[in-house]
Amino acid sequence: MKDPSKVGFAALVPAAYDLLGLSTYFTAGPEECRAWTIGKGFKAPQAAGVIHGDFERGFIRAETIHYTELLECGSEKEAKVKGLMRSEGKEYVVQEGDVMLFRFNV
């Protein structure tokens, strides 16, 4: 049986994010994985701008996969082999749990 205090706390954060209109996306590399908080409805360039303004100004595209698909594949390389990585443009609305690699040029 689960500890009820842990179940309640685990539900608190998603409920608070929802109430505040927030969402989370991730960036991942060989040395670090990081979660970024954005407003729901942010488009890819806006999400990139949360990391650095130059990413938003020079946005080209975002290579994107949902974290559950990435975990199932085991690696970014395997996800690419399976054709699960998507190339999203400036109008893409970032979804909760996306893992994104931004391509930009400044």
Cβ-proximal residues to 95 (8 Å cutoff; 6+ apart), any chain: 23, 25, 66
Domain regions of the chain by residue span: 23-104
Mean pLDDT across 5-11: 75
Instruction: Decide: 64 and 100 in contact? Cβ < 8 Å.
Output: yes
Backbone angles phi, psi at 21, to 5 degrees: 70, 35
How many Cβ atoms from other residues are within 10 Å of residue 64's Cβ? 20
Classify 80 as helix, strand or coil: helix
Give the pLDDT confidence of 88-106 residue by residue, as tens digits: 999 999 999 999 999 999 8
Pairwise pLDDT comparison (36 vs 4), residue with the higher score: 36
Report DSSP state, residue 92: P
Tell me: the pLDDT tens digits for 32-67?
999 999 999 999 999 999 999 999 999 999 999 999
Q: Which CATH code, of 3.40.50.720, 2.30.110.10, 3.10.20.30, 3.40.50.1820, is assigned to 23-104?
A: 3.10.20.30
